[in-house]
Structure 1
């Protein structure tokens, strides 16, 4: 088969199934990426969520024998929330990042890639294909950059001329030798806004991220959040968009092209207090279809407690006292104690003093002590 014609057919078909951008590159080893990954590993900058085998992340032939090409796809997602509910003094709200609005993007992109696979296999039944989205071995960004989807921005996002960085990425490795596309020229220039405004200094340099300090990563952890980051998290329940929202390339970019990606405002900006006492079943029923639910309810509830402390929401004191007294999870009890200290009133003080007498967990006792110290400082 004429591979040049096949490429054109793939591009034409991709437009009919809701793929906003498609690019092609060779399946050769990602040498530059390999060097950067080794450096990241040595510096301790990795999140731990990545594929640990750097060879698999950089050599497509280890994933598909005789791999010749990689097809990269991008789908644009909304950046603005229509009819966003207001956060009030009595009813405070948290926020999920844009990548967790609408249906889980892994599901959406897998659907598009499966359709693309079927199309290719109908044209070439003997072809071999292997698709992945985010959780696969390859680096979506490295593939997308080399395939001409966009350039790799200083904020570590792929930035497309058409949609900015508000795109989901996926790719397909194949043994078909499809003609490659040329990469796009970097347009970040001297702009350093993303690096300058990163709340925790996680962007340590252009295109270099210390994941251990990144709020997007920190909101997904399950343990006690280190105290230096708690004030920085604010009302974020999952993820962080700061390095995208300040990017000049994203100005005016807001695309509503896919029904599955349209956010429910009540899920994108949910009320905080109801989250605190939600059962596993209730959480799965309400949030199970969004990508921000993948770590379960515990990180979301912990972050909701931090958000209530951020707002100094006195109406949440009874809810936090209940958690401190009854929740079986030390992290939730401890964070509730810390939040009570931040919010500070007589009921909070009384609850912390009683909790200090009965608590057995050392980490929780430390948080109770912090809460009591904050309250004593406020009364001085």
Structure 2
């Protein structure tokens, strides 16, 4: 006969083993599914977050550039392999890795030795009104965009006026450099500026992709692109818009127009959709310089025209050519209410204005597909951003 103490001990051991089995079973969920190979589907899975080992304080001032405006050398893009037309991607995708605690607000970019930017106009809040019936931006001098037409077969219809993504869970803080991996395996870093945004009002998202070398994103406090009172972050924030500045997955050249261009476009689309799932965004604006300009009009929009479903549009500098794949997915139905603005100087030799892959050809193509286009082609101006980014983007948003 076993003693009662021995029996109790055996019973405790059994119960402990059962508890361990239960815990192990709960911890073993189904494996995450990765959507599609690079450059084929563009689909990715629901995002997750973890710690990263390269935090960056967005308020840290970089070494001041020389008196001349830094002009990252953008090699003349050659026509890459033609990507296949991409079906619309639905939902937020990819996995996200944090650089810092999300609750730790990054410092607002401050102006650091501006590289002789053009005199910037202060954002005139009075020009940009919110139509109470639509929630979209209107201009005091320009009529509101016409209502989007009914969708054509197999096309992603533009959202109704005043619609938003309805995203939730994102914090309205400036968030330090993070890493995002799309379902196709492409990985890149990004910065998000969301502090000071009022979620009770319509919220916009402005995306920036830089030129070769990515000086503007690597130096976010410089007035060259993002920083300062006239930089993209400040002018976007003044319009209740977040700024998403993205580095290319191709860090061998820090550029977008060479390599796996289809894969990079799918990565960028996945990251944007990831943010749209977290925030109630009512309009999306894309902006890019040089290689980044080519990314927007030659690769991203042609593969993912569904990103323009909320309206908005793009502003591209020193580039912005026609789609590399022919643009069959870019239709008037998908581009309804979308604005596009091109800025390239006549003396630009890196991405020549008149090249078949340059700005004039890009503007002509998109004008023929329903985009409301505008342009600035100043005489004698070369391939330089020159601090124009925030001011020009703000002006186009105000006029929309």
TM-score range, shorter chain: under 0.3
TM (norm. structure 2) is 0.25
Q: Structure 1 or 2: larger helix share? A: 1
TM (norm. structure 1) is 0.26
